[in-house]
Amino acid sequence: APQLDGYFAEVDKLSTHFIDRLSKAVAIPSISSDASRRPDVVRMGEFLAAELKALGASVEMRPLGKQPDKPDLDLPPVVLARYGSDKSKRTVLVYGHYDVQPAEKSDGWATEPFTLTVGDDGRMFGRGSTDDKGPVLGWLNAIEAHQKAGVDFPVNLLMCFEGMEEYGSEGLDELIEKEGKGYFADADVVCISDNYWLGTEKPCLTYGLRGCNYYSVEISGPGADLHSGVFGGTAQEPMTDLVRVLGSLVDTNGKILIPGISEQVAPVTAEEEGLYDGISFTMETLHDSLGSKTTIFEDKKPTLMARWRYPSLSVHGVEGAFSAPGAKTVIPAKVIGKFSIRTVPDMEIDRTNECVYKYVKEVFAKLGSKNTMKVYAQHTGKWWVASPNHWNFRAAGKAVERVWGVKPDFTREGGSIPVTLTFEQATGKNVLLLPMGSSTDGAHSINEKLDRRNYIEGIKLLGAYLHYVAEEPQD
């Protein structure tokens, strides 16, 4: 096993300095969705670049051109960095993002969102603390602690930090695909720290994500919006048709009523079955994060399976209908229902689309409506599952056990992190999701926080992971 005591002691010694570094980062309001904050996003990228250079890394700021929906606005650069180029060492590629979600004190924050505020209980509040500035700085802190402890850095580290993650990672896929055999060519494995523990006490390694197909059903009839007094009872109303179509997709208990979806789902294997029982997760935690007890299942195992390995269908809303408070007696002329399906192995995007289109057309045809209906996918994204037995995961598991004294849970997530699949496909290497924060961090909510313990032990974990991955026998 690698010698890590010196490194760990140095991380503890530097902890105030590392929290100070996080304070500086949180103080830059790098909100990617707000065009007026773009200079702050760029400033945050420059801050990272300067810190990396000071640590001896070579850094490139890669421009991504203009923002597609705002042709006068430059996208923030991708910070590409390399620390070490020793041919005798393995090379690890890590990804993170330096932009954040919007935040205003008036949204209900108890503290100033762009001032890192550390409570007596160790909770460190601030926008971006856990998503994703804490983890990104974790890599920099790991480098610094090695240097100051005089411990040889065990791998060559390639870093890819983007500034548009919270606004769709505009332009990043193209860069990753291009650099798969370029800047990233040496990578032996990939590690992404941009997700969270399943609960608050037990670390996890994440080996799967659901995909997402997002659909629109557009129904139109009259030439313009109508008054329901004048036309009610004489015209076929698009909204009447739409609620009937949307009402046919899924039932209250989440059962998808579209034929051909569940048929594509991979059967549960005995090996997978065994994974669930030990996982640290309770229905109480779920009720807490839900803010209610309106769950579909009463027990842990079907709940986790529903989140991780079964598809789900959500109806998000209707565009074109009356959506304000109050009462308006309009017959909307054209309404667009929005719903999405979270996809899992072995569902195929094209086959799923076909099942959706066929079913929606059949349901609409049965209505006998003279209105016009179109159904189409707004976007699609594939699910991702890695092998939790890959040597990258084995190394990470050993690092977790060394730092936290417990074997990690192997988890999936219900959401998608599309860049994961992009890295896997562009590099051909195994991708590991290695979270730093916990389930109560509130990444996109008010009062986002990162626990001091998760930050400091997380820095140890990232460093330890690099040591274990350096020596873990390949499969």
When CB distances are held under 5 to 8 angstroms depending on the partner's kind, the choice from a copy of itself, Zn ion, none that residue 322 binds is: a copy of itself
Size of the residue set binding Zn ion (CB under 5 A): 3
> Taking CB under 8 A as the criterion, which residues in 246-305 touch a copy of itself?
246-248, 250-254, 286, 290-297, 303
- Whether 99 is a known active-site residue: answer yes
- Whether 40 is a known active-site residue: answer no
Hey, is 386 helix, strand or coil? coil
> Taking CB under 8 A as the criterion, which residues in 306-325 touch a copy of itself?
306-307, 310-319, 321-325
The closest of 295, 306, 314 to 268, measured between CA atoms, is 306
Helices 5-13, 134-149: crossing angle, 10 deg rounding? 120
Token pair for residue 276?
């669930």
Report the sign of the C-alpha dihedral through residues 358, 360, 361, 366, in that order: positive
Q: Are the C-beta atoms of residues 316 and 354 closer than 8 Å to each other?
A: no
**106, amino acid identity:** S
Between 115 and 323, whose beta carbon lies closer to a copy of itself? 323
Catalytic residue among 10, 40, 51, 99: 99
**432, amino acid identity:** L
When CB distances are held under 5 to 8 angstroms depending on the partner's kind, the choice from a copy of itself, Zn ion, none that residue 132 binds is: Zn ion
Catalytic residue among 132, 144, 165, 237: 165
When CB distances are held under 5 to 8 angstroms depending on the partner's kind, the choice from a copy of itself, Zn ion, none that residue 194 binds is: Zn ion
Span interacting with a copy of itself, options 149-157, 158-166, 238-246, 455-463, rule CB under 8 A: 238-246
User: Binder to Zn ion among 51, 144, 179, 194 (CB under 5 A)?
Assistant: 194
Q: Are the C-beta atoms of residues 386 and 207 closer than 8 Å to each other?
A: yes
To a copy of itself, the closest distance from the beta carbon of 255 in angstroms equals 10
User: Binder to Zn ion among 131, 179, 441, 448 (CB under 5 A)?
Assistant: 131
Between 269 and 292, whose beta carbon lies closer to a copy of itself? 292
Q: Are the C-beta atoms of residues 356 and 264 closer than 8 Å to each other?
A: no
**16, amino acid identity:** T
Helices 270-277, 300-308: crossing angle, 10 deg rounding? 120
Cα-trace Rg, the chain: 24
Site map 132..161 versus Zn ion, x via CB under 5 A: x-----------------------------
Between 132 and 241, whose beta carbon lies closer to Zn ion? 132
**Residue 292, H or E segment:** none
Residues of this chain that interact with Zn ion (CB under 5 A) are 131-132, 194
